[in-house]
Amino acid sequence: MNLVSPTLRPATPAGTPNLPAVVAGGDAIPAIRQYLRIALRWRYVIIGSVVACAILGLVITLLMTPKFTAAATIEISREASQVTNFQGVERETSVADQEFYQTQYGLLRSRVLAERVAAQLRLVDNKAFYKQFGVDQDNPAFREVNGRYVPAGRAERQRIAGEILIKNVAVEPTRLSRLVAIKFTSAGAVFSQKVANAWAENFIQTNLERKVQATSYGRNLLQRELGQAKERLDESQRQLVTYAEQQRIINLPAQGSGENQTAERSIVADELASLNAALSQATADRIQAEARFREAGRAGSSAEALRNQAINMLRQRRAEAAADYQKLMVQFEPDYPPARALQSQIDQLDRSIAREESRVSGSVQAEYRQAAERENGLRQRVEGLKSNYLDLRRRSIQYNIYQQEVDTNRALYDGLLQRFKEIGVAGGVGVNNVAIVDPADVPQKPSSPRMLINLAIALLAGLAIGGGLAFALEQMDEAIADPSEVERRLGLPLLGSVPKVEGVAPRDALLDRKSDLVDAYLAIQTSLAFTTEHGVPRSLAVTSTRPAEGKSTTALALATMLARAHKTVILVDGDMRSPSVHHLGGVDHDRGLSNYLAGQEDIGQLTFEMQDLGLTAMSAGPIPPNAAELLTGHRLQQLVAKLLETFDHVVIDSPPVMGLADAPLIASRVEGVVYAVESHGIRSSIVKTALQRLLLANAHILGGVLTKFEARKAHYGYGYEYGYGYGRDKG
């Protein structure tokens, strides 16, 4: 919290160093040093917590029942050994699929597995088992009849037994391997071994059963799908046959088998193909017959006639007869009878040749007409079949749709049937991907309690609790413990710290120039010398938050130190409500500050000398009805001015700030204020409030003095201890 805002900071005199009266806060303490400071301050709290936790941990460890842990090791493979080439319905796990192993670890901790182990080991109705694990017998499930549990609560007891086993079992996978340790802990070594081994065996059994169940489920599902596919196939076949009967579509069965199998062919298509082939052959025959016919039109030159054997024989006989006739004509006349006979024979042969040639020509013509007629008949039949085939094609569109549906249903049915057979074979093999590597042995020594580990945990817990308590106490503690907190918490420049002295009066301690009290105030005087350009402020007031914080001792000590520095000093008792300076001088307070403030001008009658300390003092004077009214006027300012004409320094022992208006009034009339703060005596929040009042009065706070400081109670030591003390300060 920033104690002073820039608008409230009192202005320093001209020519003085820029040393703020109140700073916003000291330099930030490193976190490690701050924690170390807290630990050192509350070391006894931390040590007490550690010791208490250590004792508690030791007692608990000694009272704990020894427990034994048995471990069985199993191996979980990603893929089971493939006995057949058939695959089950479960998805194969990839190498990088870590979900597989996490699933297996979860199955090892499943409730069903625990209840199965409990049932196998007959723990459900075992009274000793429940007693060993401290199960509450008030549950209705544990009601007994004739010394035995009632059957009605068996399901509840089995659930409770499974929960007990799950709480005491541990599944510990071995890193970067497929090995898993199943550990069970109980008060009985043999019992732990039985449970660990039973757990591993039942996990393997459940794994196998799960695979069989998955395969059985797949088989049942495929069986239902097969039934539905069979119904769809039969229905589609009935639709196909019915439509074929209605449309008079007759197809021949498929030819060939396997990859060479062809689709069904209709009779019309086959007949059209056959007639079309016959038409092509008839056309070729007709063209050939036509060529022979046209060639036969040229008489004597027909190829058929040339190939005819009878015509060739007749022509040969005619040629012989003609040769004989020509021989006779050499000697005889045409009228020669043998010559006429030969001529008659030749004529007869010519007529026979002509008749044979005519017969051959008629045969070629008849063959041509027959070929042409056959071609025309086949062509008419083919044209008719073409019309029938086109009509069949139109009527076969829906038929083909039905046929495709039949083929699809048949393919689906065949695939499901094949898959059904494969699953049946794969499900009957019973492969497993879990194997027991090391069965559990009977543990030879307890696994818990472990004395050293428990003590270490207790020490750590005590350290944590102690640290938490120390931190909480530090947050709640607002006391100013050591000099560094004056600047850190209050925002005041530290002028010095004053040790707490006991067994000696402050005045006597000041008379001993070798005392630690004198050394401390000499250091404070030195610090004050740097607050202004002219050294120690000529007029200053010493105040505190509340009474008995050491402000009067500080005022007396500062006046004494200045006097020993060969300065003329006057100590003014400004606390007119509870005066104390007159006690130090051994005089009464019949005359003093209140007299001057009331109007008396003779200052010499109001002062007295303190020869042993070398200074002059002014008591508070008679206690007025209202001291604040006297301080409100300008008389105090005149007094300070007159005293500075005679003395080098004026030190005023001011009243406390809280609850009174006197201190702000006095602080506004002097050059600077020294603020006394009691170590471990007041909360910092109250001091901040008091400082804020002084700042509102435009007071120039030179710095703070930590009084009654004990190094042994501080957050950290300062290298020495103060050994003196002083009595109760009234001021």
**The predicted structure's pLDDT at residue 569:** 95
Q: How does residue 201 score in pLDDT terms, banded at 50, 70 and 90?
A: very high
**The predicted structure's pLDDT at residue 385:** 72
The pTM of this model reads: 0.48
Provide the token pair at 367. Answer: 């063959």
Please, what is the average pLDDT of the chain?
80
Q: How does residue 702 score in pLDDT terms, banded at 50, 70 and 90?
A: very high
In the predicted structure, residue 135 carries a pLDDT above the cut 70: yes
Facing residues of 504 across strands? 726
Distances 200 to 52, 76, 169, 440 between C-alpha atoms, Å: 43, 11, 11, 9
Under 8 Å between Cβ of 667 and 699: yes
In the predicted structure, residue 34 carries a pLDDT above the cut 80: no
**The predicted structure's pLDDT at residue 193:** 92
- Fill in the DSSP letter of residue 683: B
DSSP secondary structure letters along 363-389:
HHHHHHHHHHHHHHHHHHHHHHHHHHH
How far, in Å, CA of 296 to CA of 358, rounded?
9
What is the arithmetic mean of pLDDT over 429-458?
Answer: 84
**The predicted structure's pLDDT at residue 242:** 83
In the predicted structure, residue 350 carries a pLDDT above the cut 50: yes
In the predicted structure, residue 171 carries a pLDDT above the cut 60: yes
Residues 75-124 have pLDDT tens digits of: 988 765 444 444 544 455 454 468 888 888 899 999 999 999 999 999 88
In the predicted structure, residue 708 carries a pLDDT above the cut 80: yes
In the predicted structure, residue 719 carries a pLDDT above the cut 50: no
- Measured at the CA of 251, the angle between CA 248 and CA 256, to 5 degrees, comes to 175
Q: What share of the chain is helix, strand, coil (3-state, %, to 5)?
A: 55, 10, 30
What is the arithmetic mean of pLDDT over 442-451?
Answer: 85
Provide the token pair at 366. Answer: 């008849």
Under 8 Å between Cβ of 67 and 454: no
Provide the token pair at 37. Answer: 């400071």
How far, in Å, CA of 475 to CA of 679, rounded?
17
**The predicted structure's pLDDT at residue 29:** 61
More confident position, 65 or 427? 65
How far, in Å, CA of 110 to CA of 278, rounded?
82
How far, in Å, CA of 708 to CA of 726, rounded?
9
In the predicted structure, residue 483 carries a pLDDT above the cut 50: yes
Q: How does residue 296 score in pLDDT terms, banded at 50, 70 and 90?
A: low
**The predicted structure's pLDDT at residue 596:** 92
375-379, 593-597, 669-673, 698-702: lowest mean pLDDT where? 375-379
Q: Is the dihedral of CA 274, 280, 281, 283 positive or negative?
A: positive
Rg over CA atoms, the chain: 67
Under 8 Å between Cβ of 129 and 175: no
Distances 363 to 297, 299, 358, 384 between C-alpha atoms, Å: 12, 14, 9, 32
More confident position, 21 or 190? 190
| Residue 258 region by backbone torsions, left for phi larger than 0, else alpha for psi between -120 and 50, else beta | left
Under 8 Å between Cβ of 68 and 185: yes
What is the arithmetic mean of pLDDT over 265-289?
Answer: 75
How far, in Å, CA of 429 to CA of 110, rounded?
26
In the predicted structure, residue 5 carries a pLDDT above the cut 70: no
**The predicted structure's pLDDT at residue 62:** 85
Residues 300-310 have pLDDT tens digits of: 445 666 666 77
The secondary structure of 445-464, three-state, reads CCCECCHHHHHHHHHHHHHH
Beta strands 68-76 and 251-252 are unpaired
In the predicted structure, residue 421 carries a pLDDT above the cut 70: yes
More confident position, 114 or 268? 114
In the predicted structure, residue 724 carries a pLDDT above the cut 70: no
